[in-house]
């Protein structure tokens, strides 16, 4: 892509040089995770379970729900987990906090997630991801947002849904369908209409034109949020995603290995109903904590628009 020779915007204290870190290599590293499940873990034990169950990568996060400002995980936790497993490791940095990203890269993480799930460090600016050798992951809820992140250097897009860890996949489905619908609209569009469409979604024209040519996003697209069952995982894959992120809530069960293994198998065999049946059997009891209570679900016909 044209971004391979992007000019470094930070001063000379930046620890990496954009010219030595071509985007094509980082996009290729992200492609290696295609067709896999990425598990969020907060301990060495969870990381080992994820690796044994077949996760393609793990996302290190702080244990428990921290009150107040949420920041990148403790570097000592990342180092401890990195020594314990052999699969690629990810960690989150706050939006716009390029120093947190520098620290994570120095530790040796394989991928950095510039995550809106943490507190915002910069309300107006995202990290210039071309300055780093690590591939970056960024979230989106629509096509325009996805392409703006790709222009900044994101090598993977995470279509984000529910962030509360309650197992509600509805928002993720809505956002994934929204992105896929905009891609289909673009594919069926006349060439003369592409300029106006790019302006409408506030996205770089060259990337919009590239999507029209390719028929998909120029980088891998994963889904995240509310994915806690094999059926949820297979749904995301059948909707057109390249893989999924799974929250740490899946470890809150009597047999977390069985649940994680079932999700991994569902991602790999998302079009095989027989495998999905086997992967889904015997999980209901272990998922009791993730079922939404009736009073938190809007019922049809109860006054509402």
Residue 15 DSSP code: S
Three-state SS for 67-134 is CCCCCCCCHHHHHHHHHHCCCCEEEEEECCCHHHHHHHHHHCCCEEEEECCCCCCCCCCCCCHHHCCC
CATH number at residue 84: 3.20.20.70
Number of domains in the chain: 1
Query: Average pLDDT in the 105-119 region?
Result: 93
Distance (Å, whole) CA 262 – CA 37:
11
Q: What is the dihedral of CA 203, 207, 210, 216, to 10 degrees?
A: -70
Asked if residue 67 has pLDDT above 80, the reply is no
* Beta bridge pairs of residue 245: 38, 224
| Mean of per-residue pLDDT scores for the chain | 86
How many Cβ atoms sit within 10 Å of the Cβ of residue 124? 7
Do the domain assignments include residue 62? yes
The pLDDT confidence band at residue 70, using thresholds 50, 70 and 90, is confident
**pLDDT tens digits, 17-59:** 556 678 999 999 999 999 999 999 999 999 999 999 999 999 9
* Beta bridge pairs of residue 93: 114
Weakest-pLDDT range from 5-19, 36-50, 257-271: 5-19
Do the domain assignments include residue 52? yes
Do the domain assignments include residue 14? no
User: Greatest CA separation found in the chain?
Assistant: 61
Query: Average pLDDT in the 182-209 region?
Result: 94
Helix, coil or strand: residue 239: coil
Distance (Å, whole) CA 238 – CA 3:
31
Do the domain assignments include residue 170? yes
Query: Average pLDDT in the 147-174 region?
Result: 89
Kindly report the backbone phi and psi dihedral angles of residue 111, in degrees, each rounded to the nearest multiple of 5, phi listed first.
-145, 150
- Measuring CA to CA, which residue among 152, 150, 151, 155 is closest to residue 137? 155
Do the domain assignments include residue 3? no
Share of the chain above pLDDT 70, in %: 85
Query: Average pLDDT in the 78-88 region?
Result: 95
Cα radius of gyration (the chain): 19
The pLDDT confidence band at residue 282, using thresholds 50, 70 and 90, is confident
Do the domain assignments include residue 65? yes
Is 186:208 a contact under the CB 8 Å cutoff? yes
Is 270:210 a contact under the CB 8 Å cutoff? no
How many Cβ atoms sit within 10 Å of the Cβ of residue 25? 13
Do the domain assignments include residue 288? no
Q: What is the pLDDT of residue 290?
A: 52
Q: What is the pLDDT of residue 41?
A: 95
Q: What is the pLDDT of residue 118?
A: 87
- Measuring CA to CA, which residue among 28, 74, 55, 82 is closest to residue 266? 55
Weakest-pLDDT range from 145-154, 199-208, 293-302: 293-302
Look up the domain containing 242 and give its range: 22-280
Do the domain assignments include residue 28? yes
Q: What is the pLDDT of residue 65?
A: 56
Please report the sign of the dihedral spanned by the C-alpha atoms of residue 203, residue 205, residue 210, residue 212: positive
């Amino acid at each position: 892509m044209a971004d391979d020779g992007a000019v470094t915007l930070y001063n000379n204290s930046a620890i990496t040089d954009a010219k030595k870190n071509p985007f094509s290599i980082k996009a290729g590293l992200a492609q290696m995770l295609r067709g896999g499940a990425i598990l969020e873990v907060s301990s060495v034990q969870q990381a080992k379970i994820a690796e044994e169950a077949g996760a393609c990568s793990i996302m290190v996060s702080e244990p428990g729900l921290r009150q107040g400002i949420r920041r990148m995980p403790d570097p000592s936790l990342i180092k401890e987990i990195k020594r314990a497993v052999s699969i690629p490791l990810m960690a989150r940095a706050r939006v716009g906090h390029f120093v947190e990203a520098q620290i994570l890269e120095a530790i040796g993480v394989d991928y950095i997630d510039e995550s809106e799930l943490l507190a915002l460090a910069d309300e107006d600016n995202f990290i210039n991801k071309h300055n780093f050798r690590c591939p970056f992951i960024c979230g989106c809820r629509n096509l325009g947002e996805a392409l703006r992140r790709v222009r900044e250097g994101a090598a993977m897009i995470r279509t984000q849904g529910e962030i509360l860890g309650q197992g509600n996949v509805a928002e993720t489905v809505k956002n994934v369908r929204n992105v896929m619908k905009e891609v289909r609209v673009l594919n069926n569009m006349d060439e003369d209409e592409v300029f106006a469409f790019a302006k409408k979604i506030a996205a770089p024209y060259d990337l919009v034109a590239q999507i029209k040519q390719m028929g998909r996003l120029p980088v891998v697209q994963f889904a995240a949020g509310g994915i806690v069952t094999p059926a949820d995982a297979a749904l995301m894959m059948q909707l057109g995603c390249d893989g999924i992120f799974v929250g740490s809530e899946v470890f809150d069960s009597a047999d977390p290995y069985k649940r994680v293994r079932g999700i991994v198998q569902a991602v790999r065999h998302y079009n095989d109903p027989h495998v999905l049946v086997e992967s889904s059997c015997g999980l209901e009891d272990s998922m009791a904590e993730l079922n939404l209570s009736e009073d938190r679900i809007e019922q049809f016909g109860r006054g509402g628009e």
